Amino acid sequence: MNNLKNVKKNNVLKSRTFSNSLKLTSKKNFLTLDSNLKSKKSVVKNLYRAAYHSSNRVKEYEGYIDRNYTPNKNDLVCEYYLEPANGISFESACQRVASESSIGTWTDIGTMSHDLFNKLAPKIFSLNPKNGIFKVAYSCELFEEHNVAQIMSAIAGNIFGMSDVKNLKLLDIDFPNSFIRHYSGPMYGINGIRKIMKEKYRPFVGTSVKPKVGLTEAGHSLIAYDSWIGGCDFVNDDENLTSLKSNNFDKRISLTLRARDKAEQVTGEKKIYAPNITAPYPEMVRRAKEVMRNGGEYVLIDILTTGWSAVQAFKDLDLRVVIHGHRAMHAAFTRNPNHGISMLAIAKFCRLIGVDQLHVGGIVGRMFEGEKDVVNVGESIESQIVSKNIFRHRLQEDWLNLNPMLAVCSGGLCPAKVQPLIHAMGRDTLIMAGGGIHGHPNGTIAGAKAMRQAVDAETYGIDPHEYALTHLELKLALEKWKK
């Protein structure tokens, strides 16, 4: 018992000694820290003291306009359309957008030094209240370069909800070269896809299996097979077909890829199946690997519903699959001509992060976009150097070594609309027809033949109605779907 008391007493003494030692050490460290802080006191005062006083603060929503400014190679430039709210001038509303999308807030703040403002404040170098267009240059220091989500949160984030603006639309973006060098872009793009397909010249023909959902795995694979032997190069899942009770993903791709192999043997042509792997990210990666295990080379991802970060991370895995980008949900941003985000801006982000081919609209189909908008997007994703076009609200862009994306045209297309579509979009196009193939009077095989015949007619420079005189499938299609 006495030994136990002595042990406890010694432990208490040790504890008190340790505690006193800790207090002395802490006090010594605090004095050292305090000394260091005092030595830097003048620097801190120089940086912030003036800002603490209201009379010397940077004024909110002021100082962002500089018409003499010329964007430099490290600036990210955005073009916006803006309608100010009642009681707000156009110039003031533009400055509020520039402020909210970068370093400012709704009031002057004591933590904003003039040096910091001068270094990072965006520069509105062009603004026209007559047409509502203004251009703003952002310093690249405002962004994390390899983080599309952060960039979008700035230039297309809170600004759309500001009460100071009635309408606001992000029309275009010019990425600085320093940004582009952080991205690898499409792994395959136009040239890589043409190499896979062993087709150097003509436009491609594709279809999405219809109905979109409700078919069994076997039924899906049979329709895909009929599409291929009729003449389709590509068969895709639609945007809302993932893995359903009636159509399991793993079973579907196994059967459909076997049907693809058989179609290649029958036709002697390369055929592609792009299954929709859209899912929570870990499952999306698993599905992509399952596609590869079954001999697939393509995957389809719903870009916007999946999210920028997930698509970017998937591309960075370098699985060496071709990424077909579906734009489901885009019209929630793009359709209103005065508010939201343009399809052009969305498409440029897709090229930046590495989507190989992307739905851009149909021009002559059932989608709302006109020829000017769709051609504008097509040129911007397929060219290496994009020229400035003030009439299309398009900024200049140099894509450096990033591969061009293949434009996918879809939405209400049929053989009757092939000729004007190719005239507008050129030969580097994938023409996707769903109802325009499966709705043919003689069924899917005949519908695929008619679509391919329409493409062949344009490729050979023959009027489709003349070509239809010797091609029954095309003749029936033109009779059903008159322009």
Catalytic center residues: 210, 326
Rounded (to 5) percent helix, strand, coil in the chain: 50, 15, 35
- CA nearest 429: which of 368, 365, 472? 365
DSSP labels for 374-391?
HHHHHHHHH-SEEPPBTT
* Helix, strand, or coil (residue 357): strand
Q: Where are the alpha helices (DSSP H) in 337-417?
A: 343-353, 371-382
- CA nearest 373: which of 398, 336, 403, 404? 336
Q: How far apart are CA 187 and CA 192, in angstroms?
A: 8
Contacts of 36 (CB under 8 A, 6+ apart): none
Contacts of 62 (CB under 8 A, 6+ apart): 95
Tracing tokens 């893995």 back to the chain, one arrives at: 243
- Sheet containing strand 322-326, edge to edge, reads 272-274, 234-236, 204-208, 429-432, 406-409, 357-361, 322-326, 298-302
CB 136 within 8 A of CB 124: yes
Bridge-based pairing state of the strands 234-236 and 272-274: parallel
- CA nearest 419: which of 411, 404, 405, 429? 429
Specify burial of residue 346 (Cβ count, 10 A radius: 0-12, 13-18, 19+). Answer: buried
Tokens describing residue 173: 């973006």
Contacts of 369 (CB under 8 A, 6+ apart): 343, 361, 362, 363
268 forms beta bridges with none
Specify burial of residue 77 (Cβ count, 10 A radius: 0-12, 13-18, 19+). Answer: buried
Q: How far apart are CA 111 and CA 434, in angstroms?
A: 57
CB 381 within 8 A of CB 394: no
